[in-house]
Structure 1
Amino acid sequence: MKVLIIDDEKLLVKGLKKSLEQEGFEVSVAYDGETGFSVFETSSFDLLILDLMLPKIDGITLCRMIRQSSEVPIMMLTAKDSDIDKILGLELGADDYMTKPFNTRELIARVRAILRRVEKQEVQQETVYTSGDLVVDSGYRTVKKAYREVELTPKEFDILELLIRNKGRVFPREEIFRLVWQEPCLDTRTIDVHIKNLREKLKDHEKNSPMIQTKWGVGYYFRRD
C-alpha cells in the first residue's frame, strides 16, 4: 500500500514515515501543499495523510482540489481542536480526522481501518458473476441476459446471486430459504416458485443443461461452466 504524507513538520513526518514503513507501507512525503499536489498527480497512492495548515496551498484547499478528480482516502491532521475545522474537513471529503499531538499506533490503526473499508466497498462494487451470456452484478444488483437487463424481485436476485456465486454446489431448499430470508424455512414450496420464476425470466429452458439445475430430492444448484 502506498501512502503520501503532506505535512510541514519534518520531525513528525520522519517519525510517522518510519512507523508506517515498519508496518509494510511504501511512503512518500511532501512538506507543502503545492509540492504535495504535484507528487499526488505524478503517482498513484492508496491513502493520503494531509495536514490542515500547510504552506503555499492549505490542507482544506488541497483536499478540495484532490476531490475534484480522485476518491483516494484522506486522513486529515491538524493542530487545531475546533469542531468547525473537523466538520469542514470531513464535508470536503476527508475520511477521518486526527488532532495533533496524536498516538502513532492509533493513527496507523485508523489508516488500516479506512483501507479495509475501501477494499470491502471495492469488492462489493466489482463482484460480477457470468455464465454464457448471463451477467450478475452483485454490487449494483443488476442482471443482464444477452445484453438485456432482466427485472428480478429482490428475493429472486438474492437466490440467483447465491447459486451463481457457488457454482456446482447443491443447496437444499431449506438452506436457500434460511440464507435468503434470514429465518427458518416454513414452506419449501416458496423456493420452488421463485426458481420457476427465475427460469422463466432468464429463459432458462435448455433441456439437457439448464443454468439452474435440480438435484432431485435435495435442492438446486447453478451448473458449472
Structure 2
Amino acid sequence: MEKVILIAADNQERVQQLMEKLGQAGYKVTHALNYSEVVAALQRTNADLLLMDSKLPGMSHFNLVQRLTGRREQIPIIVIGNDGSDEAIQALESGAHDYIPNEWDTRELLARISNLLRLFQTGRKEQDEIIRIGDLAIDPLCRNVTRENETLALTHREYDLLLFLARRQGQVCTREDILREVWDYDFHTGTNVVDVYILHLREKIDKGRRPKLLRTIRGIGYKLLSQDEIDANTKDRLP
C-alpha cells in the first residue's frame, strides 16, 4: 500500500523540492501550511508520517509535536531544522522521532523516513492484536468488542474509551488522562463527560456479568481489571 507523507511547511521552495523527491521515491504526498492545517489534515487523512519545518507557522516551542506524540495513535515525526543542535535537542525532547538539518541529503532523508516507517509498522502490528481480558475480547482491526461471545454495540467514543482503558489494564487512569487521550482536550474543562461515558460503558460490558471489569477508583479515576487481577480474584474465591 502506498505510504502517505504529510509535509508541514510554508516555504514553497522547500515544499516543492520535498514533494518532487518523495514522489519520485514512490510516496504519496500531502501538504499543510501551518499548525491548524496539520491538525485538520491528520483528522481528515491517514498520513503515515509527518515531515515538518521547525519554524512551522502557529507552532510555539514544538507544542504541536507534544500534542501529536501524546495522542493514543501516534504518527512518526521528522523535524527539518534551521537552528542547529539546540533546536534539535528541543525538538527531540518534545517528542519528535528524528531531526535532520536544513541542508539535508536526499538519500539520508529517504533512509530516515524508511527506517521510521518500518519501526512504526512493527509497533502498529502489535497494536492490532486482539486484546483479551477474561471473557472480554477487543479486536482493534475491525473495532469489534465481545463479552461471553456476545457482540457489544458500542458507539465510536465508547469504543475509544474502552480501548484506551484496555491498553492500560490494571492501571488507574485519571479523568484528565482520559479527556486528553480520548477526547483530545488539553485541559480539564469541568465537564462530566468522562463519568457519563463510563456509566454507559459499564452498562454495556458489566451489567449482569461477572466479574465486573470496569472499576471506579474513588477520587482518582477509573481502571479496567487486568487478566492477572481476574486470575488472582478467582483464585482467592476457590475453596
TM-score bracket relative to the smaller structure: 0.5 to 0.7
Q: 1:26 to 1:59 in 2, by over 3 A?
A: farther
Contact 1:33 1:58 in 2 (8 A): no
Equivalent AA in structure 1 for residue 34 of structure 2: D
Where do 1:154-169 residues align within 5 Å? none
- The answer to whether the aligner puts 1:87 opposite 2:89 as a matched pair is yes
How far, CA to CA, are the matches of 1:88 and 1:12 in structure 2? 22
Aligned to 2:189: none
Per-residue CA shift, 1:41-64, capped at 9, x if unaligned? 222111000111122234712112
Distance 1:113 1:14 in 2: 23
Question: Is the CA contact (8 Å cut-off) linking 1:77 and 1:97 kept in structure 2?
Answer: yes
What is the Cα deviation at residue 94 of structure 1?
1.0
> What is residue 11 of structure 1 aligned with on the other side?
13
2:81 equivalent to 1:78: yes
1:102, distance to aligned residue in structure 2 (A)? 0.7
Q: Does 1:46 align with 2:61?
A: no
The runs of 5 or more residues in structure 1 that have no matched partner are 136-145, 148-225
Provide TM-score, normalisation by structure 1.
Answer: 0.52
Q: 1:99 to 1:20 in 2, by over 3 A?
A: same
Following superposition, the deviation at residue 127 of structure 1 comes to 5.7
Please tell me whether the aligned partners of residues 34 and 57 of structure 1 are also in contact (alpha carbons under 8 angstroms).
no
Kept in 1, the 8 Å contact 2:4–2:49? The answer is yes
Alignment of 1:157-196 (within 5 A): none
Gaps of 5+ in 2: 138-147, 150-239
Could you tell me how far apart the structure 2 residues matched to 1:32 and 1:125 are?
Answer: 30
State the match for 1:188 in structure 2.
Answer: none
Amino acid at match of 1:32: N
In the alignment, the residues of structure 2 paired with residue 55 and residue 121 of structure 1 have an alpha-carbon distance, to the nearest angstrom, of 31
Q: 2:108 aligns with which of 78, 93, 106?
A: 106
Question: Partners in 1 of 2:12 and 2:109 — Cα distance?
Answer: 17
Q: 1:116 aligns with which of 108, 115, 118?
A: 118
**Structure 1 residues 123 and 38 mapped into 2: Cα distance closer, same or farther (>3 Å)?**
closer
Say whether the 8 Å CA contact 1:32–1:54 is kept in structure 2: yes
Aligned residue pairs total 135
The aligned amino acid for 1:40 is L
TM-score normalised over the length of structure 2: 0.50
User: What secondary structure does 1:11 align onto?
Assistant: helix
CA distance in 2, matches of 1:13, 1:90: 22
CA distance in 2 between partners of 1:87 and 1:117 (Å): 21
Q: Look up the SS of the partner of 1:94 in the other structure.
A: coil
Whether the aligned pair in 2 keeps the contact of 1:4 and 1:45 (CA below 8 Å) is yes
Q: 1:207 aligns to what? A: none
Structure 1 residues 59 and 7: alpha-carbon distance in aligned structure 2, compared to 1, 3 A threshold:
farther
The verdict on how the C-alpha distance between 1:62 and 1:20 changes in structure 2, with shifts beyond 3 A counting, is same
Q: Secondary structure at the match of 1:65?
A: helix
Distance 1:22 1:57, change over 3 A: same
Contact 2:63 2:94 in 1 (8 A): no
The structure with the largest alpha-carbon Rg is 1
Structure 1 residue 33 displacement after superposition: 2.0
Give the direction of change, closer, same or farther, for the CA distance of 1:51–1:100 in structure 2 (3 Å limit): same
